[in-house]
Each structure stands twice: as C-alpha cells, then as structure tokens.
Amino acid sequence: MNLTVGVLALQGGFSEHLDLLRNAVDHLSSTEVYSTTNFVLTEVRTPDQLAQCNALIIPGGESTAISFVAAQSGLLEPLRDFVKVQKRPTWGTCAGLILLSDEANATKKGGQELIGGLSVRVHRNHFGRQIESFESDLDLPFLQSESDLVPFSGVFIRAPVVEEVLSNNNDLRSPVEVLAKLPGRVNKMKSGLSQANTKDDAGDIIAVRQGNILGTSFHPELTKDARIHVWWLKQILNQQ
Ligand code: GLN
C-alpha cells in the first residue's frame, strides 16, 4: 500500500512535523503489520503537490499568515476541496486547528479566511499572549494504545480552544468527538478571575475529531514525542 502524507509548508512548524512523521514512519515500518506500506512524506506549497497527497497536516504558526499565503498561492479552494469534498484525512495543530474550524472568535480585524470543515467555533489566543505560553502534561485517552499511560507534554503557544461545538443537524457530517480536555484552567473571559487561582472541572476542549478531520490546540511538533503521529497514521491506514 502507498500512503503520501503532505505537510502544508507555507509558514510555521512544518519541518518539525515532517521530522516527527519520519520518526513515526520509521516506527511503523519496523512493525510487521505496516512493514510493506510505502510512505511518502512531502512538503505542500502548490495545488499540484496537494493533489498527490492522501492525507495532510496543517502545522502551528499563524493562521492569518497561512491563509494569506494559501490564498496568494491559489491553495485556499483546493484545500477546502481536499478537506470538505474529497474528505481526505487532515490534521491541524494550533493555527491548523483554527484554519480547519467553521468559525473562529477573536479573529484578525476585518475577519480572516478559514478552510473550515470542523463544525466548531474556536477561540483564538485563548490563554493570552506569547508570554503566557505554557506546557502541561496531558492525559490523551485516545493514545492509550500507544502510551503506556505516559502523559503527553502539551505545548500551548497563543493556543486556541474549541469554545463551542456547533450544531450540524442540517448537514451530513459525522458528529464532533471531543478527544481531550485541559482541566484546571478557567476561561478568563467568563470568570474575570486569574487562571492560576481558579479551577474549572469541565476543562477546555483541546482535541477534537469529526470524520476525516483531527484538530489539536497544542503543538506535538514541538516535542520529540511521535505518538500522536503514529496513532494518526495508523487510523488512516486502518481505514484504507
Ligand atoms: N494564535 C495563532 C493563530 O491565530 C496560533 C498560534 C500557534 O499556532 N502557535 O494563528
């Protein structure tokens, strides 16, 4: 079986994603089940390169810059088609999650173009500015088969959260699955209290999946941990 996985390489952490994809592929190729799979990993900057891909990662970075360059490169419509019409597996991290959402809050003045596909509304820069970046050990239940229960180090940099799952009763999309939450922080907008002193047991939604689309608020590509990449590739291969 052949699997070509692209990483949108317009801005942001694309080379870091490719490094982790290489690690994930090395790992999978050493297992009996996937030893015959032919993986091709590639940077995507043009519609032709996108058309070669069976699956795509949209990295973290700056969503406004990525969509601006995508529009300039004639990639915005092909990306929408790839995600929403052809429904090929697509994973967005941080800025990538924003781009894959149907709606975003706290957008650039004048609005910003999204690719869409996930029936959610994200809140950009939910935890504040760059200086308020943080790392947090995450319990990611979907990783259980890969993880031996070792927590995943979540890197949050001007990260969005999913503030609302939108009703999609009127379309044919699968329901949105909430895959992970970040407990122990509170939505400053709602409470007016400082994050550090308050707990919100419900937690912020930081990972979702809807059909072919996966979105995570944090940056696995800024760690050395390829478990989510391995898990995502396996999901794709098991559906082929
Ligand atoms: N806040 C950024 C944006 O709106 C995302 C930050 C990131 O990807 N680290 O694009």
Per-residue model confidence as pLDDT tens digits over 44-71 = 999 999 999 999 999 999 999 999 999 9
Of 17, 123, 126, 219, which residue is the catalytic one?
219
Determine the Cα–Cα distance for residues 15 and 21; give it in Å rounded to an integer.
10
* Top-tier CATH class for 2-193+205-239: alpha beta
Nearest to 43 by CA among 100, 89, 5, 94: 5
> Is 63 annotated as a binding-site member?
yes
> Is 77 annotated as a binding-site member?
no
| Secondary-structure percent of the chain, ordered helix, strand, coil, rounded to 5 | 35, 25, 40
Helix axes 227-239, 14-29, angle to 10 degrees: 70
Averaged pLDDT for residues 139-160: 84
94 part of the active site: yes
Find out whether the beta carbon of 96 lies less than 6 Å from any atom of ligand 1. no
> Is 157 annotated as a binding-site member?
yes
Q: Is the pLDDT of residue 109 over 90?
A: no
Q: What is the pTM of this model?
A: 0.91
Q: Is the pLDDT of residue 41 over 70?
A: yes
What is the residue extent of each domain of the chain? 2-193+205-239
User: Which residues contact residue 86 at a Cβ distance below 8 angstroms, ignoring those fewer than 6 apart?
Assistant: none
Find out whether the beta carbon of 60 lies less than 6 Å from any atom of ligand 1. yes
Find out whether the beta carbon of 94 lies less than 6 Å from any atom of ligand 1. yes
